[in-house]
Amino acid sequence: MWQTYKEKLRVKTKLFSIFVVLLAIFTVVPSTLAQDDTTLGLPESAKARLGRGKINELKYSPDGTRLAVASSIGIWIYDAQTGEELELIRGHTKSVNSVAFSPDGSTLASGGEDRTVRLWDANTGGPLHTLDGHRSVINSVSFSPDGATLASGSEDLTVRLWDVNTGSELRTLEGHTRPARNLIRIGVLSVAFSPDGATLASGSANNIVRLWDVNTGRELHTLDGHRSMIASVSFSPDGAMIATGSGDNTIRLWDATTGNHLRTLTGHTDWVLSVSFSPDGTMLASGGWDGTVRLWDANTGRELRTLTGHMSGIASVSFSPDGSTIATGSGDRIGRWMAGDHSVRLWDATTGNHLHTLTRHRDKVNSLSFSPDGTMLASGSYDDTARLWDANTGDHLRTLRGHADWIRDVSFSPDGMLIATASGDNTVRLWDVNTGDHLRTLEGHTRWVRSAAFSPDGMTIVSGSYDNTARLWDANTGDHLRTLEGHRAGVASVLFSPDGTIILSGSYDGTARLWDANTGNEIHTLTGHKGSIVGVSYSPDGTTVATASWDRTARVWDVNTGNEFRMFEGHTAEVNSVSFGPDSNTLATGSYDGTVFVWELNPSAVSDATEPISDTTKPVRRKEDVTGDNIVNIQDLVLVASNLGKSGSNPADINSDGIVNIQDLVLVAGALDAKGNEK
C-alpha cells in the first residue's frame, strides 16, 4: 500500500509540474516562457517565475549590444546578439509602457501605468530617480540627443520635460485635448526629440501631432490630417522629416520645419502602432495591428517588403544602431482588447529574413485539464470547442463540438471516462472521452457557466455561473440536485474537497465560500480580498484552500476556521489561477501579467527525500538534467518548454526523436528532483 501511495504521489507531482509549465504557455492572457533564469527579481516566498509578461515597447542600446523590453512585469534586458536574458529591472508597481536608453547608454528611462517616470543605471539596473508629477498613466519617454533632458507623454494630456541629472521637472507642455469619442487610450501617446534637440514632437489620441520649442515650451506647429489617434512619432536622422503612425491604418511623412504634409504611406490593414527610421534615414519601418512589419523607402514612400511571422499585432519596431537588424515586439501597448503574441523577433533589415525569436507563445486557451492517469490533456477555447491531446506525443486526438459559445472550463471525471465542459451558452456538457460523443447537456443556469468540477467519486458535478449561483448535478442522469445561493455576483470557480464533503466557490463579489456538499448549507465565508476571486484550489490534504484574485494577490485559508493565514504578493496584474502542489506546501499562481509564480507555503516543511549519492560513486548526468546542474528541477522544465517545436540536435530533445515536444516535457517532469546519478 505504501508503494502504491508513493507511486500516486509521484504521478501527481509530475502532473503538477507539467501543469505549471503549461499554465505559462496557455494562460488566459497569452504569455511568454522564461528561457533561462526564472529567479530574476522574485518577490518574497516565490521560488520561480515562468513567463516575461506582456510586451509594450523595445529599444536598442546606443552600442547595439543590448535590447531593453518594457513589459507588464518590469524591464527585461537582453543580449542583442544571442538573445540571452541578462536582467529584469523591477520598481514600477504596475505595467511599464515605455523605455529609452540615454545617448551614452549609461541611463535607462521608463514610464509606467503607476504614473511615474523612473531613471535607472543601465549597467547595474539600480534606481537613480523617480520623477513624480504626472496625474495619469505614462505612455512614452524620450531622451534629448545630449542626454540632459527627458520628455514624457501622459494620459493627463501633458508633456513634461525633466532634468536627467537631478530628476527635477523643467516645464510642462500643455495644449493636447481629449478625443471627441471615448478611446481606450487617451492623452499623449508618443514623444520624440529632433536630432538637434531643439524641437519636440508629441502625438496624441485626438489625431493631432504638436511640435514644441524645447527651450521655451512654445508650440511651433500642429500637424493635422490623420483621422485617428497618433500612436507613434519619429524624426528622420537628419531632422528634415517626421513620420507618424496612426489608428487610421496609415503613415504620414511631414516636413519638420514647415509642418507641411509630404506623403501618405498606405498598405497596413489595421492600426499602425510604431514607426522608426533606419540610422541612415533611407528606410522607414512600421509595425501594425495587422501583424505585419513593413519597410518603406523614406524618400519615395514606396513599400520595399513586408515581414510576417508574428501571430498578432506589432506594438514596437526598432532598428539596431548599425541599421543591419530590426527588432519587433508584439503586444498590446495601446490597450486594445485583442492581445499580442508577446514575442520579440529580430530580422535582417536588408533581406527581411527572420533571424531569431527571443520569446515564445502558444495560442490562447481558457482552460486545461489532465486526465487522471496523465496520458491525455483537454483544452477549452474561445473557438467554442474543447480538444483532447495525447500528453506524451502532443498529438491531437479529437475535437468536441456542440457548444454555441466559448468554453471556459474543462474537467475530467475521476475515472477519466467523462469530460465536463462549462460554456458561455449557459450550459455544461458531458462527453465520452474515448469517442468524443456528446452524452448530455446540463441546463438550468440563466447566464454563462464559468466553472465545472466532478466530485471525487465521480457521482456529482458542481458548476459555477454568472447567475451568482453554484449548482449540483447527478453526473449519471444530468438531473439538477440543488442550488447553492449566497454569492452577490457571478461564481467564477468551483471545486470539491478531496474527500468530497465540502464545496469551495470563488466569486466576483470578492469572497470565497465553503459549502456542505450533502446539504448545500454554507459553512464559512472567506473575506479579505479586495477584488474578484476567479481561481480556487484545495490542498491535497484537505486542510487549506487557496484563492486567486484580481486584487493581484493569492491567499491561503484554513478550512476548519475559515481564517486567512498567508497572502502572496508580487504579480503586477490580476491573478487568475492558483493550484497546490501534491505536497500541500507548494502553490503555483498564474496572472494576467503573463507570468506564473511558484511559492513555498512553509519553507521549513520541505525536506530532501532524495537518497544521497555515495561518495565513492561518480554522478552520471541524466538526460533530463538539461541545464547540467546535477539535479532535475523546474529550470529543466522551463528550458524544455522554451524549446518546444524545435528540431535537430538539441539537449532539450530528451527522447532523441528529432523534435522537442510535450513528450520531452513529460520525461523531465517525471524525473523532477532527481540528482545527477541515474536511477
pLDDT in tens, 538-551: 999 999 999 999 99
Query: What whole-number distance in Å separates Cα of residue 647 and Cα of residue 214?
Result: 53
Closest C-alpha among 374, 347, 465, 346 to residue 663: 374
638 has pLDDT over 60? yes
| Helix or strand holding residue 660 (H, E) | none
Bridge partners of 514, per DSSP, are 504, 524
Maximum separation of any 2 CA atoms in the chain, in Å: 85
- From 431-445, 486-500, 642-656, the region with the lowest mean pLDDT: 642-656
Bridge partners of 294, per DSSP, are 286, 306
The chain-wide mean pLDDT, for the chain, equals 83
Query: What whole-number distance in Å separates Cα of residue 622 and Cα of residue 562?
Result: 44
Structural contact between residues 410 and 370, judged by C-beta atoms closer than 8 angstroms? no
State the SS3 of 146-174.
CCCEEEEEECCCEEEEEECCCCCEEEEEE
Rounded to the nearest 5 degrees, what angle is found at the Cα of 438, between the Cα atoms of 418 and 473? 60
36 has pLDDT over 70? no
pLDDT at 181: 60
More confident residue, 596 or 319: 319
CATH superfamily of 29-357: YVTN repeat-like/Quinoprotein amine dehydrogenase (2.130.10.10)
Bridge partners of 277, per DSSP, are 284
Structural contact between residues 409 and 452, judged by C-beta atoms closer than 8 angstroms? yes
pLDDT at 362: 36
554 has pLDDT over 80? yes
* Buried/exposed code over 129-165 (b: 16+ C-beta within 10 A; e: otherwise): bebebbeebbbbbbbbeebebbbbbbbbbbbbbbebe
pLDDT at 363: 39
What is the domain partition of the chain in residue ranges?
29-357
pLDDT at 627: 67
**How sure is the predictor about 53, in pLDDT bands with cuts at 50, 70 and 90?**
low
Q: Using CA atoms of 382, 387, 390, 392 in order, give the dihedral in degrees to the nearest 10.
A: 10
123 has pLDDT over 80? yes
DSSP string, 77-138: EEETTT--EEEEE---SS-EEEEEE-TTSSEEEEEETTS-EEEEETTT--EEEEE---SS-E
Per DSSP, the three-state class of 501 is coil
More confident residue, 669 or 274: 274
- φ, ψ for residue 604, nearest 5 deg: -70, -15
* Buried/exposed code over 589-615 (b: 16+ C-beta within 10 A; e: otherwise): bbbbbbbbbbbbbeeeeeeeeeeeeee
pLDDT of 178-236, one tens digit each? 876 645 567 999 999 999 999 999 999 889 999 999 999 999 999 999 999 999 999 99
pLDDT of 57-92, one tens digit each? 888 899 989 989 888 889 999 888 877 778 889 999
Query: What whole-number distance in Å separates Cα of residue 180 and Cα of residue 516?
Result: 54
Structural contact between residues 329 and 288, judged by C-beta atoms closer than 8 angstroms? no
* Own/partner pairs, 497-501, CB within 8 angstroms, 24+ separation: 497/538, 497/542, 497/559, 498/456, 498/538, 498/540, 498/541, 498/542, 499/456, 499/542, 500/455, 500/456, 500/457, 500/460
Structural contact between residues 108 and 102, judged by C-beta atoms closer than 8 angstroms? yes
- Residue 372 CA from chain centroid, whole number: 28
User: Quick one: DSSP state of residue 637?
Assistant: H
Q: Going by C-beta distance under 8 Å and a sequence separation of 6 or more, which residues neighbour residue 170?
A: 149, 161, 162, 163
pLDDT of 649-670, one tens digit each? 677 777 776 777 666 766 776 6
607 has pLDDT over 60? no
User: Which range among 142-146, 287-291, 313-317, 384-388 has the greatest average pLDDT?
Assistant: 142-146
pLDDT at 311: 65
613 has pLDDT over 90? no
pLDDT at 572: 84
Q: Taking the complete model, does pTM exceed 0.85, yes or no?
A: no
Query: What whole-number distance in Å separates Cα of residue 472 and Cα of residue 453?
Result: 10
pLDDT at 466: 96
Sheet holding 230-235, edge to edge: 230-235, 241-246, 251-255, 261-265
> For 673, how many CA atoms within 13 A lie in the half-sphere containing its CB?
11
Closest C-alpha among 494, 502, 577, 507 to residue 543: 502
Closest C-alpha among 324, 326, 252, 332 to residue 291: 332
pLDDT of 335-386, one tens digit each? 433 344 556 778 888 998 888 765 432 334 567 777 888 778 788 887 788 8
